[in-house]
Amino acid sequence: MALFKRLLTKACDHGIDDPRKMFHCLKVGAALTIVSLFYYIRLLYDGFGGNALWALMTVVVVFEYTVGGTLYKSLNRIGATTLAGFLALGSHWIASQAGHRFEPVIMEISLFVIALVTTLSRFIPVVKARYDYGCTIFILTYGLVLVSGYRVEKLMDVAMQRLSTIMIGTFLCIIISILVCPIWAGIELHLLIACNMDKLANSLESCVAEYFSDGDEESKKRLQDYRFVLSSKASEESMAEFARWEPAHGPFGFKHPWKNYIKVGSSLRSCAYCIETLVSCLDSRHQVPETIRNHLRASCLSLSSSSSNVIRVLSTTVSSMTRSNQTDNVIKEMKDAVQESQNNLKTLSGILIRSHEEQVMKYELQDIIPLVTFVSLLIEISSRIEGGIVKTVEELAHSAEFEQSEDEMDLPMAHVGSKIVGKEENMIALQRV
């Protein structure tokens, strides 16, 4: 009882934390209550008989958190039930021609083969991703109709009733999940990618700030933000898969290139791997003499802020679905900063040699190795941004036909900040779609 109470408290906390979860649960409860009415109202009961239970069952099994998830399960269920139903009726007819004695044998063999082939095809990745639930329902319906067929007289009626109750259940789920506070897998994916980009930019900026002892409490917190990017692969993939099933909604057409988001996601992760290594460089920062660190401080901070800017502008491009005219500018700034950092690295050579010649304050190569590694990684990250994130976002913008923004043709860099505030509003607006 105490366990149950703790569970209840925890569940309620979850509901209060995220009202959308609470709404989802209310929707499931409402759908179930409505569908159980079919059973109570005698008229409908007389129409469908015990099969009305299938509608209840359908609602429980099919209702998912996102519209895409619900549609995936609904369409799989309807498709597989129809297909398996007809196939079972056919098998039944063939078996019945073989006489009463061989009928069960033929039917058992057909069930075995169908189960075998369907289970095997579930191992094919495409089938697994898109029709896994359909495969279960296919075997299930085939088995049920075939086996019932041996006893129940009006087999066709049973099959049609089962199908119609399932359709009532799925349509109810689809309607409720689309009309009442819909949670679109597409929008979730869209926001997740944009949000992950911002997190990556935060981590990068914080890490460099920390390295040059330039960070505050806020930046310490943001340092680990890149971990979200590392761990969001599975949810990105499942959401992209669900988004395929969704009709056009808000700014997204029916053929929106969801798989491009997956590509952006992996380019983000490729950057995140490098940032992970960069963060581990923080431990060795105190081995580098203060003077030498200060020598590279300005160029590194400028490189990290311009790299983060590129990511943030691209994040705005994704979230607002508008190509920014800023992109080329910020990329150019990043390239300049890379050049500057490389030049500064070269001058370290001179410092080493001078320190050796003058013998006043002797620096050795090993003093600067951690710094050299740090800067090299920083340069590698900006090259991954350019070759990965910029490219994949460009591809996404191309396939999804993002518009070109017009009103900020010659905006100076200072306005990028206000653009990002605009994006937050945009996100909230998107969430309300």
User: How far, in whole angstroms, is CA 287 from its chain's centroid?
Assistant: 40
Residue with Cβ nearer a second copy (58 or 426): 58
Please, what is the Cα angle at 161 between 160 and 167, to 5 degrees?
Answer: 90
Residue with Cβ nearer a second copy (160 or 365): 365
Q: Is 257 exposed, middle or buried (0-12, 13-18, 19+ CB in 10 A)?
A: middle
Interacting positions 276-295 with a second copy (CB under 8 A): 276-277, 280
Q: Which of 22, 181, 282, 292 binds a second copy (CB under 8 A)?
A: 22
Contact of 368 with 356, CB cutoff 8 Å:
no
Number of residues that bind a second copy (CB under 8 A): 81
Question: Torsion-angle region of residue 115: left (phi > 0), alpha (psi -120 to 50) or beta?
Answer: alpha
Question: Does 85 participate in binding a second copy (rule CB under 8 A)?
Answer: no
Residue with Cβ nearer a second copy (136 or 302): 136
Compose the 131-160 pattern: x for residues touching a second copy by CB under 8 A, - for all others: -----x--xx--xx-xxx-xx---------
Residue with Cβ nearer a second copy (19 or 417): 19
**Region near a second copy per CB under 8 A, out of 120-128, 165-173, 301-309, 323-331:** 120-128
196 vs 64, 264, 330, 385, CA distance in Å?
24, 10, 19, 14
Question: Does 47 participate in binding a second copy (rule CB under 8 A)?
Answer: no
Which tokens go with 43?
Answer: 């008229």
Compose the 323-362 pattern: x for residues touching a second copy by CB under 8 A, - for all others: -------------------x--xx-xx--xx--x------
Rg for the chain (alpha carbons), in Å?
Answer: 30
Question: Does 127 participate in binding a second copy (rule CB under 8 A)?
Answer: yes
Task: Output the smallest distance, CB 60 to a second copy, in A.
Answer: 5
Residue with Cβ nearer a second copy (275 or 400): 275
Task: Output the smallest distance, CB 417 to a second copy, in A.
Answer: 31
- Quote the CA–CA distance of 365 and 427 in Å, as a whole number: 49
Residue with Cβ nearer a second copy (362 or 415): 362
Helices (H) and strands (E) in the chain, counts: 18, 2
With residues binned 3-state (H G I as helix, E B as strand, rest as coil), the percentages for the chain, rounded to 5, are: 85, 0, 15
Closest CA to 49 of 187, 180, 162, 213: 162
Task: Output the smallest distance, CB 90 to a second copy, in A.
Answer: 14
**Region near a second copy per CB under 8 A, out of 187-195, 207-215, 240-248, 270-278:** 270-278
